[in-house]
């Protein structure tokens, strides 16, 4: 009997001990539960919507080129011809932006000399395979043509690019300027691969139909022009191979069109330090033949060819240990071969250019350039010095 009473007492003692333990846990957890319940009942503050900014849709940029040039050439008769000029080479303003992630635009005008509209296009990005450009755009002929003056390595374009890509055209038509035409173009990436989380292109294309009459002009040209370029990146970082064509005609006379057919092939390497590019160009252009008086006999075909190759090396340095500003300096050398008309040997020229490009900071660029000119029409060598300061904003 005594043993039974003792067991009952012990079991009661354990029940009271467990009850005390549960009470302590409840007293500790209850305030936390009440706080959580209160937080659930208090409405959360609405997130503040992102403020609308004009800079998200429109950017304004521009740059000004001030240039000094001095050139001298000893003619065959012994006379010395010289030129010495200081000029405002460019004063460009650009409006660019996007209305939508799939829709962007660009408007660019040059106010130096005679003000004129340059780039004026709208682009629709359907997908990586197809971007549609409409307006006044750069034709996809040669690798140099898509570069802006801020990207070009030398003060002047190579002779062949200037003559065949529509800057100082072989045809002599002034409306062919800045490598621009009015039309529509498709571009995109046909193949790519992933490397370190980044999509690297393998094959890019550009192909368009253009009016063929030049920029800022409305002029009949029943036969529209075609231009295309293909860029291949052969799994070598910063290296590409490129080929392009331009096939068109222009109204030399009311009764007859003249051809403007060109093609090019080249390669480029652009790394952090070394930069190099080489390209061969060839074209056939119809021009007026002064020996004949009738339009059907007065078109003369000019066979033009050229080659340029350059190499440069970037040096990066700072202004001092306490300054966060950096500067870039790049010496360059270019060989530039050009034959305006292969049927006339005296139109052959070999140019050797030495250039020093300096960016003291990201908004200022300084160019110093010397070119040695060996032209078949002269017995003596020609010389050209150029200095250019660019300020961009």
Does 248 map to a domain? yes
Does 151 map to a domain? yes
Given a cut of 70, whether residue 44 has pLDDT beyond it is: no
Residue 265 pairs in a beta bridge with: 243, 280
Instruction: Give the per-residue pLDDT at 30.
Output: 47
Given a cut of 70, whether residue 179 has pLDDT beyond it is: yes
Instruction: Give the per-residue pLDDT at 106.
Output: 96
Given a cut of 90, whether residue 9 has pLDDT beyond it is: no
Instruction: Give the per-residue pLDDT at 385.
Output: 97
**Domain hosting residue 227, numbered range:** 58-67+86-392
Does 333 map to a domain? yes
**Angular region, 184: left φ>0, alpha ψ -120 to 50, beta rest:** beta
Instruction: Give the per-residue pLDDT at 47.
Output: 55
- What integer is the mean pLDDT of 327-345? 96
Does 372 map to a domain? yes
Cα dihedral angle (151, 154, 159, 164), rounded to 10 degrees?
Answer: 0
Does 7 map to a domain? no
Cα dihedral angle (152, 153, 156, 160), rounded to 10 degrees?
Answer: -80
Does 386 map to a domain? yes
Does 4 map to a domain? no
Given a cut of 80, whether residue 36 has pLDDT beyond it is: no
pLDDT-derived band at 45 (thresholds 50, 70, 90) equals low
Instruction: Give the per-residue pLDDT at 221.
Output: 65
The mean predicted confidence, pLDDT, of the chain is 86
Does 80 map to a domain? no
Q: What is the CATH number of the domain that holds 167?
A: 2.40.160.10
pLDDT-derived band at 291 (thresholds 50, 70, 90) equals confident
Structural domain total, the chain: 1
């Amino acid at each position: 009997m005594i043993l039974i009473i003792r067991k009952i007492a012990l079991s009661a003692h354990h029940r009271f001990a467990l009850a005390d333990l549960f009470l302590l846990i409840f007293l500790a957890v209850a305030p936390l539960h009440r706080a959580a319940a209160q937080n659930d009942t208090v409405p959360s503050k609405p997130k503040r919507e992102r403020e609308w900014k004009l800079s998200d849709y429109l950017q304004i940029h521009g740059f000004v080129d001030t240039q000094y040039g001095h050139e001298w050439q000893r003619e065959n008769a012994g006379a010395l011809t010289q030129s010495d000029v200081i000029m405002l080479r460019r004063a460009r303003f650009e409006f660019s932006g996007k209305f939508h992630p799939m829709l962007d635009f660009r408007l660019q005008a040059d106010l130096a000399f005679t003000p004129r509209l340059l780039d004026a296009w709208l682009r629709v990005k359907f997908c990586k395979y197809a971007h549609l450009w409409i307006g006044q755009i750069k034709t996809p002929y040669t690798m140099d043509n898509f570069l802006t003056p801020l990207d070009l390595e030398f003060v002047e374009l190579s002779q062949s690019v200037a003559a065949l890509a529509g800057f100082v055209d072989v045809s002599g038509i002034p409306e062919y300027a800045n490598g621009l035409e009015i039309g529509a173009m498709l571009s995109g990436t046909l193949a790519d691969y992933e490397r370190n989380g980044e999509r690297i292109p393998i094959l890019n294309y550009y192909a368009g139909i253009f009016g063929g009459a030049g920029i800022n002009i409305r002029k009949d040209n029943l036969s529209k022009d075609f231009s295309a370029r293909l860029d291949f990146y052969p799994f070598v970082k910063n290296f590409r191979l490129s080929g392009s064509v331009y096939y068109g005609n222009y109204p030399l006379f009311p009764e007859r069109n003249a051809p403007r057919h060109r093609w090019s092939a080249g390669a480029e390497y652009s790394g952090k330090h070394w930069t190099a590019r080489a390209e061969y160009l060839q074209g056939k252009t119809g021009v007026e033949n002064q020996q004949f008086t009738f339009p059907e006999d007065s078109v003369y075909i000019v066979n033009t060819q050229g080659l340029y190759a350059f190499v440069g090396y970037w040096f990066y340095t700072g202004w001092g240990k306490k300054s966060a500003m950096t500067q870039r300096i790049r010496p360059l050398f270019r060989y530039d071969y050009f034959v305006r008309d292969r049927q006339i040997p005296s139109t052959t020229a070999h140019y050797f250019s030495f250039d020093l490009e300096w960016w003291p900071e990201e908004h200022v660029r300084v160019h110093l350039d010397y070119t040695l000119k060996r032209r078949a029409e002269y017995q003596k060598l020609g010389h050209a010095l150029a200095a250019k300061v660019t300020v961009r904003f």
